[in-house]
Amino acid sequence: MRTIDAVAQILKRENIYILPSFPTTAVIEAAAAAGIKPVICRQERVGVGIADGWSRTRNGQPVGAFAMQYGPGAENAYAGIATAFSDAVPMLLLPLGHPLNRDRVFPNFSSIKSYEPITAFAEQVNQPQRVGDTLRRAFTQMRSGRPGPALVEIPIDVGNAEVDAAVVDNYRPVQIATAQANPEDVMRAAKALLAARRPVIQAGQGVLYAQATAELIELAELVQAPVYATLAGKSAFPESHALALGIAGGGTMTGEAYHFIKEADLLFAVGSSLSRHGMSANIPGGKVIIHNTADAIDLNKSYYADHPILGDARLVLRQFIDACRELLGNKARDGAAVRAEIARTRETWLQQWLPKLNSTGTPINPYRVISDFMQVVDPDTAIVTHDSGSPRYQMMPFYRAGTPRSYIGWGKSHQLGTGLGLIMGAKLAAPDKFCVNFMGDAAFGMTGLDFETAVRSGIPILTIVLNNNSMAVETEHMKTSHGLFRTRDLQGNYADMARAMGGWSECVSDPAQIKDAVTRARRVTESGRAALLEFVTTQENTVSHQTAFRND
């Protein structure tokens, strides 16, 4: 068989049966011949996003994959891969490579050289017989420790070369090792946790990848510690739980998260990198920090860790549960006062936002769209994601996620339009879920034509466009240029565009119609069609606790 046929057969052994891709690459034909369905996107960045959304939804089991041509294809995919790398998403990238006699010769673009800084693994198959070994290493590295994209470049001449079928016969799906923490370290940290007057737990994305939500709930209830999630960790802890503080990240936070983080004397970050970046909430000083991560590079990186705990989040949480039970004499703490304080603080915060959440004005307030959406959609039946800018700031604190992976939070490196690919990947990975992406008009301008990919490929998602005819999030950054040259203004009729691409759509300008419109759109997706709702919204700039604990 050819090397690319061996690649396709190995993908099947790793349980990959959908391949987002963009021509021209012979991998598409080889995959199709092997029974793997190609999903042809409009542009590479969205195709990478589809693989990304698949991997997040499935916790990397199996991972998503994306194939593209050398040169322009590999170049155009760069932004999507940068997002996946910054958010620690495992996926397999299969760029075709230039023939070996032109490899890394100027001006030819080299995927290996260019992608090495933004991948967990990057290797070229420079000999046909190495294809199995290379893919084994790729699948191992992308899911070990901190997850991340793995790139395997296949030079076109190597891909078409013959290889012995034994490379496939001898290939076995890789098993990923996980590790517990040092028991003595855990016991010391557990004593500090129980000695704290006002402990708070930060749930990172590592909780999701470790599938450790049950353990996190058990520990929180045992020690009666409130829990908030990071941007990428949203849905790791059920936000309807009495100990849930919601979100602190993405440039915004809930009122209860703000209150408890400010007052905490100890913070236990589990499955978190504790990175300082533009989309994280800074941790105020004067707190004892317990830091659990699967990657040692995170420890003492941005904050001094009083108790560094290296290990898999689920295994480490089980160690903490056992240690705390031993120290507490197997009795859970009474948390009535903590739960009452959370409920009281949340209610006070929400009362301040009710004028926006219940606004009857026109254009529609985007917070009203989110509020009404939550009233007609059970979060446990849906997967929801935001886009960059205003939709992220508005969604993250107010949308209450349900079961793990019912919300896809993203954005350490954030390109407008990323959410559309993510939600298509999520729908492919979880076809029984109501999959919805909220995006602004600027984001639609970046990737909106790939709504046609959803229509053509039979991926029945709902896209909600919050159309305020402006880059409202840039209001403070572009005052002079906008005053002189109207630089923030945008225009477009996005419902019309969706219909032109073969989808179902409506444009809604009356807030009283929001719930019915969402219900109609859901029925459309249940019938197998992609749908788009365009809401004509006001230029809302108020964000919940936007400046609280921000990094300098």
Whether omega before 24 lies within 30 degrees of 0, making that bond cis, reads yes
User: What's the token pair of residue 330?
Assistant: 């197997």
- Structural domain contains residue 546: no
> Regarding predicted confidence, which is higher, 28 or 251?
28
Count of structural domains, the chain: 3
pLDDT above 70 coverage of the chain, percent: 99
> Regarding predicted confidence, which is higher, 472 or 85?
85
Residues 332 and 478 in one domain: no
CA 276 distance to own-chain centroid: 18
pLDDT at site 250: 77
Looking up residue 80, the CATH number of its domain turns out to be: 3.40.50.970
Residues 33 and 159 in one domain: yes
CA distance 492 to 439: 14
Residues 429 and 451 in one domain: yes
pLDDT at site 547: 60
- Structural domain contains residue 351: no
Q: Which of 286, 309, 341 finishes a domain? A: 341
User: What's the token pair of residue 262?
Assistant: 């400010």
Residues 101 and 193 in one domain: no
Residues 410 and 271 in one domain: no
CA distance 27 to 7: 8
CA distance 150 to 518: 38
pLDDT at site 548: 65
Q: Which of 341, 374, 396 finishes a domain? A: 341
The residues pairing with 425 across neighbouring beta strands, listed in sequence order, are none
Query: Within 13 Å and on the Cβ side, how many CA atoms surround 430?
Result: 25
Instruction: Write down the number of H helices and E strands in the chain.
Output: 23, 19
Looking up residue 234, the CATH number of its domain turns out to be: 3.40.50.1220
- Residue 269: CB atoms within 10 A of its CB come to 25
Query: Within 13 Å and on the Cβ side, how many CA atoms surround 273?
Result: 19
The residues pairing with 38 across neighbouring beta strands, listed in sequence order, are 19
CA distance 111 to 127: 17
State the pLDDT confidence band at 258, using cuts at 50, 70 and 90: very high
Note the pLDDT tens digit of each residue in 291-337: 999 999 999 999 999 999 999 999 999 999 999 999 999 888 999 99
- Structural domain contains residue 48: yes
pLDDT at 160 over 50: yes
> Regarding predicted confidence, which is higher, 261 or 278?
261
pLDDT at 150 over 50: yes
CA distance 401 to 436: 13
Residues 92 and 30 in one domain: yes
Side-by-side strand order, sheet with 91-97? 37-40, 18-21, 64-68, 91-97, 149-155, 121-124
- Structural domain contains residue 224: yes
State the pLDDT confidence band at 149, using cuts at 50, 70 and 90: very high
Residues 160 and 214 in one domain: no
Contacts of 449 (CB under 8 A, 6+ apart): 42, 43, 501
| Nearest CA-CA partner of 404 in 212, 124, 137, 142 | 212
Residues 389 and 523 in one domain: yes
pLDDT at 550 over 60: no
Residues 132 and 263 in one domain: no
Q: Is the dihedral of CA 163, 164, 165, 168 positive or negative?
A: negative
Average pLDDT over residues 157-184: 96
Note the pLDDT tens digit of each residue in 386-442: 999 899 999 999 999 999 999 999 988 889 999 999 999 999 999 999 999 999 999
The residues pairing with 153 across neighbouring beta strands, listed in sequence order, are 124
- Structural domain contains residue 350: no
CA distance 1 to 46: 31
- Structural domain contains residue 136: yes
Q: Which of 122, 139, 169 finishes a domain? A: 169
SS3 310: strand
pLDDT at site 320: 98
CA distance 225 to 1: 58
Q: Angle CA(411)–CA(415)–CA(420) in degrees, nearest 5?
A: 90
pLDDT at site 475: 86
pLDDT at 549 over 70: no
User: Domain containing 425: what range?
Assistant: 358-536
Residues 197 and 156 in one domain: no
Percent composition of the chain: helix, strand, coil (DSSP 3-state, to 5): 45, 20, 35
pLDDT above 90 coverage of the chain, percent: 91
pLDDT at 106 over 50: yes
The whole-chain average pLDDT of the chain stands at: 95
Query: Of the given ranges (256-270, 324-338, 469-483, 525-539), which has the lowest mean pLDDT?
Result: 469-483
* Burial state string for 131-169 with b = 16 or more CB within 10 A and e = fewer than 16: bbebbbbbbbbbbbbbbbbbbbbbbbbbbebebeeebbe
Let me know: does 476 contact 422? Beta carbons within 8 Å: no
pLDDT at site 411: 87
State the pLDDT confidence band at 84, using cuts at 50, 70 and 90: very high
pLDDT at 551 over 60: no
Q: Dihedral angle at the C-alpha atoms of 433, 525, 363, 246, nearest 10 degrees?
A: 0
Residues 145 and 62 in one domain: yes
pLDDT at site 330: 86
Side-by-side strand order, sheet with 382-385? 407-408, 382-385, 434-440, 462-467, 531-536, 504-508
Residues 281 and 322 in one domain: yes
pLDDT at 133 over 60: yes
pLDDT at 552 over 50: no
Note the pLDDT tens digit of each residue in 346-388: 999 999 999 999 999 999 999 999 999 999 999 999 999 999 9
- Structural domain contains residue 353: no
- Structural domain contains residue 551: no
